[in-house]
Amino acid sequence: MFKKLMGVVVFATLFTMTALAQDAKTVLGNASRAMGADNLKTVQFTGTGWEYTFGQAVNPKSPWPGYESRTYTRTINFEAPAWRIERVLVPASPARRGGGLLPALNQTVVINANTNWAQQLDHWMLPYGFLKAAAATNATVQSQKVGGKNYSVVTFMGQNKAKVNGYINDQNMVEKVETWIDNAVTGDTLLQAVYTDYKDFGGLKFPTKMVRKQGDYPILELTVTDVKPNAPANIQPPQAGGGGGGQPPATTSRKLGDGVYLILGGYASIAVDFKDYIVLLEGGNSEAGASAIITEAQKLIPNKPIKYVVNTHNHFDHSSGLRRFMAEGVTIITHEQNKQYYEKLATLPHTLNPDMLAKMPKKASVEGMKDKRVLTDGNHVVELYRLLDSTHNDGLIVAYLPKEKVLLQGDAWNPPAEADAAPSNINNSIYNKNLMDNIQRLKLSVETMVPVHYPGTRTVTFAEFTRALSKSSSEN
């Protein structure tokens, strides 16, 4: 009797799973037909809107800062799969608040075995990309009511082992796609795209409003004005070279003074040998970068713990190594606007890609400062100042070592790879002038500059900064 009962249970379970799979295929098929996507091989759409720089807010309570596109054209080949984006940008105001680089005018991606999942999602989260990806997997479906509306929620598992959910409304339109991706700061981070105001373009139903969010704030807002189904889409792979990935740069170091060391490799950091402990100025742009800084600092200054790491500002490329220091019990010194923010970030789940803090949870030690703080052991002195009136970040901190006449700063001036060369594309004359104004206000006697975005291994002098500022002023 027990065996018969178990057989019935197993059969019922298999039948239910099969039914769910068939239901998902039916829902996807109905949506594809209703949207006119059954024979869709390529599409090109054009619109206007804004793209926003994730993790570059002017303060922890602000949305991501954006750049406006006068025209935004995306051409997609679903069979390759591949896409190309062409932008005509509205000139950004120099007074724009927040960080981040301008989007590239032209961007091409051809998905292959080396394309990371987060980048692939830029394709599969589009309504038609979702339908094709879900149809190619063992997708499931369930009914769900959200905001008083009924949806068929189709789900498949992404390459990163996170669910990808597509919300299909009662008109068989894909209205929302959501999933989760890993981020070094925010952990398991919700990524969602909402599609509304569908219109007919040559038999293809296409959303004319697109909003994509990451970490609670938009990263794309687009109003679509023109759509060409099955437009020519001969998208060639971009030329090799220049991209990210690979191993982080090798860590090197050199002496700036007695017991003061510049650590390079990725982003720059300074280790200071206090009497009973080590102070680090800036903590790297990733967990791997933070680990390399820790290793190098302890090699340079053995048998002493790292007590403090000073964080220049909350932008993600300057805070992605902080959880590594939290796991070591190191106290983070940052502007007071970041204190509660960092304490919260220390508790966020990191299940998709567990870091050391996720594996060895520990309460974060974060100390906030206002406009000035001084660290000293009677020999070494580190003066910390907030840059007043910075448009890059409201809590931007610089570190000044008066004995060595060294100033460490992040993003207030980013010198080129070669001394006195043309300014880099991550420079901003308003940032540069603000830095000089603050140096003069504080009466700092600077000889050596340490930009966190360090250009190679050469020495950067204050005289070079003065010349760069003078040149940009004369050009304006």
User: Residue 420: its pLDDT value, please?
Assistant: 83
User: Residue 85: its pLDDT value, please?
Assistant: 97
Half-sphere exposure of 422 (CA within 13 A, CB side): 2
What is the C-alpha separation between 201 and 223, in angstroms, rounded? 15
What is the C-alpha separation between 441 and 439, in angstroms, rounded? 6
Residue holding tokens 């799973």? Answer: 17
> Tens place of pLDDT for every residue, the chain, 476 residues?
434 433 433 333 333 344 445 599 999 999 999 999 999 999 999 999 999 999 999 999 999 999 999 999 999 999 999 999 999 999 998 789 999 999 999 999 999 999 999 999 999 999 999 999 999 999 999 999 999 999 999 999 999 999 999 999 999 999 999 999 999 999 999 999 999 999 999 999 999 999 999 999 999 999 999 999 999 998 988 876 544 445 667 889 999 999 999 999 989 999 999 999 999 999 999 999 999 999 999 999 999 999 999 999 999 999 999 999 999 999 999 999 999 999 999 999 999 999 999 999 999 999 999 999 999 999 999 999 999 999 999 999 999 999 999 999 999 999 998 988 877 655 688 999 999 999 999 999 999 999 999 998 999 999 999 999 988 766 65
User: Residue 250: its pLDDT value, please?
Assistant: 83
What is the C-alpha separation between 64 and 97, in angstroms, rounded? 10
User: Residue 10: its pLDDT value, please?
Assistant: 38
* Two tokens, residue 89: 């940008």
pTM attached to this predicted model: 0.91
Residue extents of the structural domains in the chain:
36-229, 252-475
The H or E element containing residue 433 is: helix 429-442
What is the C-alpha separation between 197 and 50, in angstroms, rounded? 18
CATH topology of domain 36-229: outer membrane lipoprotein receptor (LolB), chain A (2.50.20)
Angle made by CA atoms 299, 357, 364, in degrees to the nearest 5: 90
What is the C-alpha separation between 281 and 273, in angstroms, rounded? 12
Which CATH architecture is the domain 252-475 placed in? 4-Layer Sandwich (3.60)
Buried b (16+ CB within 10 A) or exposed e, 343-379: eebbeeebebeebbbbeeeeebbbebbeeebebeeee
User: Residue 112: its pLDDT value, please?
Assistant: 92
Domains 36-229 and 252-475 share a fold: no
Helix count (H) and strand count (E) of the chain?
10, 24
Buried b (16+ CB within 10 A) or exposed e, 444-458: bebebbbbbbbbeee
The H or E element containing residue 465 is: helix 462-475
Half-sphere exposure of 49 (CA within 13 A, CB side): 22
Task: Using alpha carbons, select from 135, 132, 191 the residue that is nearest to residue 160.
Answer: 191
